[in-house]
Amino acid sequence: MGNRFEGKVAFITGAARGQGRAEAVKFASEGADIIALDACKKFNSTPYEGATEEDLAETVRLVEEQGRKIVATKADVRDFAAVTAALDAGIEAFGRLDAVVANAGICSAALSWEITPEQWQETIDVNLTGAFYTCKAAIPKLIEQGEGGSIVLTSSVSSLKGAPFFGHYVASKAGMAGLTRTMANELGMHRIRVNSVHPYGVATGMVMSDVLPLMERFADTLAPAFMASIPDGFSTAEDVANVVAFLSSDEAHHITGINMPIDLGNAAR
């Protein structure tokens, strides 16, 4: 697609691996410098291992391999001061901000009434509050800069239809979808566009081993909710990054306030 982001700067959370890394590399491949952060830790409620500092270092290497610069920080999106400091460090290095991708997120599985208070709180805090903090830190910078900009929140197709076994995750992602629409209305006057993307399954390090027993237990009644129309199984992180880059580019200058599925047709089922 050329250099759609030449001379621009993208701020990406959850950038150590998976979709966040793919987005960092995508933006860099099209000319952007990158401000990246990741908690680089294992979360208490998740069945999979978290990203590591080595993962974040690999993202740095891959961005630099594209000939671009990156400021990468180990920071937890639940810590507003840390998010703000990471963003400030990147803006100090690069002098501006153009695109924001609130991508950091976690997931675990349980029947809604069996979700523990700890699971609920950690999921809401990381996914929804983390996205809010990311936007809260970035929006004043974009307004002050006065050149518009783009914000993309990573939600989930589950928030559009209500996926079984993920009540806490769905609630957090549905909150992100609503926040997207609200901020789009508020920020349009500043030519700052706000959209969300809603992937189906994406092949990343988020391996949901805890959902397998539930899928087997309710195979006849609830498993059809996970069916897709396009028989590709899962999307790649690059598939999502391509859509995020489009929504962040000038090609999408009249697109704001949408909740875009990247779901192989799952939401239509």
Residue identified by tokens 């397998």 is 212
For 244, how many CA atoms within 13 A lie in the half-sphere containing its CB?
33
Give the residue from 33, 51, 161, 148 showing the smallest Cα distance to 106.
51
> Active site residue: 48, 133, 169, 200, which one?
169
Residues in contact with 177: Cβ distance below 8 Å, sequence separation at least 6, in sequence order: 153, 155, 159, 160, 196, 198, 259
The answer for residues whose C-beta is within 8 angstroms of residue 189's C-beta and 6 or more apart is none
Measured CA to CA, the distance from residue 214 to residue 210 in angstroms comes to 8
Cβ atoms of 26 and 152 closer than 8 Å: no
Reduce the DSSP state of residue 96 to 3 states and report it. Answer: coil
Is 200 catalytic? The answer is no
Amino acid identity for residue 257 in this structure: G
237 and 101 Cβ atoms separated by less than 8 Å: no
- Tell me the catalytic residues: 169
